[in-house]
Amino acid sequence: MSKEKVIEVKGLGASYDELVVLSDVNFSAYKGDITVVLGASGSGKSTVLNHLLGLYPVNKGFVSILGKDISNITEKEQLSLYLQMGVFYQSGALLNSMTVGENVALPLKQHSNLPDSLVEEIVYMKLGLVNMQHAYHYFPSELSGGMLKRAALARAIVMDPPLLFCDEPGAGLDPISLASLDELIINLQKKLGISVLMVTHEVTSIMRIADRIVYLENGVVAFEGSLKNALESNVESVKHFFSVIDEADRFK
């Protein structure tokens, strides 16, 4: 691999009190790739993500993001790292006290001195990318689940981050919204060259966008490789996961 590594995880371990969730996780994600993290519910995908985001301290092992070792990182370095990454949370995590527009504008307003009118135009445009312009003045509590997701994605990409983290962006979306979400992410990847680390269970989505697959099981990475290799993998659980597609083929 000649590509630059944007994420590198070596020997990462994590536990909640007695419960060991991750024992020895190793994988890498490369620049310009869409890397999908898979695994059964409760296998620790969100836990891995929280370590990458610096929300949980790395107690065992080594994690580097965009070339920075985050296990011993100063607050200032972490902040500048945050400016280079967009995060999409599983629950949306929009601030309830602000409108959708204000939510999306928040990072832009806090980290730049742009005139308000320009900020507003950028926010409109970003909301347009996720087809949510009509919701500019709505409060999060007035949105449906899928709309919340799209608004949250608009907020995650408002700063044009080179690295985007997504925890289950597709869950709860209808197939058409899902397809346009995938198209948007592919567009961002192709045209801006951003790298994406995504947790998702949507097989159709994975087939469309994934470059690489990381499969978590029993606290370790059971499979890591390209989508093509994953489809032909001998690992039992990976095989099982993708067997859904073969079942769909029956109807063709």
Partner 1 sequence: MENNNSKERYIALEKDFIYRFQDNTLFLSRSLLLPQTIWFTKKIPKELKSFKVKNIILNLDELQDIDSAGVMALFHLKDKLRKSGISARIEGGSQSILEKIELFSPGQLPYHETPLKPGFLERTGNAVSHFFTDFVFGFITLAADVFYWSVSDIFRSRSRRKGEIANQAVLIGVNASLIVIFLSFVIGLVIALQSSGQLRTFGANIYIVDLTVIAMMSQMGPLITAILVAGRSGSSIAAEIATMKVTAELNALKTMGLNPIRFVVVPKLYACLITMPFLIIFANVSGILGGGVAAYIYLDITPEIFINRMGTVMQNKDLITGFVKSQVYASLIVLTGSFFGFRVVRGAEGVGKVTTTAVVVAISLVILADSILGLLFY
Ligand X SMILES: Nc1ncnc2c1ncn2[C@@H]1O[C@H](COP(=O)(O)OP(=O)(O)OP(=O)(O)O)[C@@H](O)[C@H]1O
Q: Which residues bind partner 1 (CB under 8 A)?
A: 96-97, 108, 112-115, 117-118, 121-122, 124-126, 128-129, 133-134, 136-137, 139-141, 158-160, 187-188, 191-192
To ligand X, the closest distance from the beta carbon of 96 in angstroms equals 22
Q: Residue 192's binding partner, choosing from Mg ion, partner 1, ligand X, none, with beta-carbon cut-off 5 to 8 A by kind?
A: partner 1
Q: Residue 21's binding partner, choosing from ligand X, partner 1, Mg ion, none, with beta-carbon cut-off 5 to 8 A by kind?
A: ligand X
| Separation CA 153–CA 217 (nearest Å) | 28
Residues contacting 183, CB < 8 A, separation 6+:
none
To ligand X, the closest distance from the beta carbon of 217 in angstroms equals 10
Residues contacting 100, CB < 8 A, separation 6+:
94, 127, 132, 135, 136, 137, 138, 139, 140, 143, 151, 154
Out of 28, 35, 43, 237, point to the residue binding ligand X (CB under 6 A).
43
Residue with Cβ nearer ligand X (28 or 47): 47
Q: Residue 96's binding partner, choosing from ligand X, Mg ion, partner 1, none, with beta-carbon cut-off 5 to 8 A by kind?
A: partner 1
Residue with Cβ nearer Mg ion (46 or 84): 46
Phi and psi angles of residue 184, each rounded to the nearest 5 degrees, phi first: -60, -45
Based on the shown chain and the rule CB under 6 A, indicate whether residue 55 belongs to the binding site for ligand X. no
Question: Would you tell me how many other CB atoms lie within 10 Å of the CB of residue 187?
Answer: 11
To ligand X, the closest distance from the beta carbon of 14 in angstroms equals 8
| Separation CA 201–CA 41 (nearest Å) | 9
Amino acid (one-letter) located at 212: R
Q: Residue 249: exposed, middle, or buried by beta-carbon count in 10 A (0-12, 13-18, 19+)? A: exposed
| Separation CA 217–CA 48 (nearest Å) | 12
Out of 6, 27, 38, 44, point to the residue binding ligand X (CB under 6 A).
44
Cα 72 from chain centre: 23
Residue with Cβ nearer partner 1 (141 or 234): 141
Q: Residue 112's binding partner, choosing from ligand X, Mg ion, partner 1, none, with beta-carbon cut-off 5 to 8 A by kind?
A: partner 1
To ligand X, the closest distance from the beta carbon of 82 in angstroms equals 21
To partner 1, the closest distance from the beta carbon of 151 in angstroms equals 14
SS3 241: helix
Residue with Cβ nearer partner 1 (14 or 159): 159
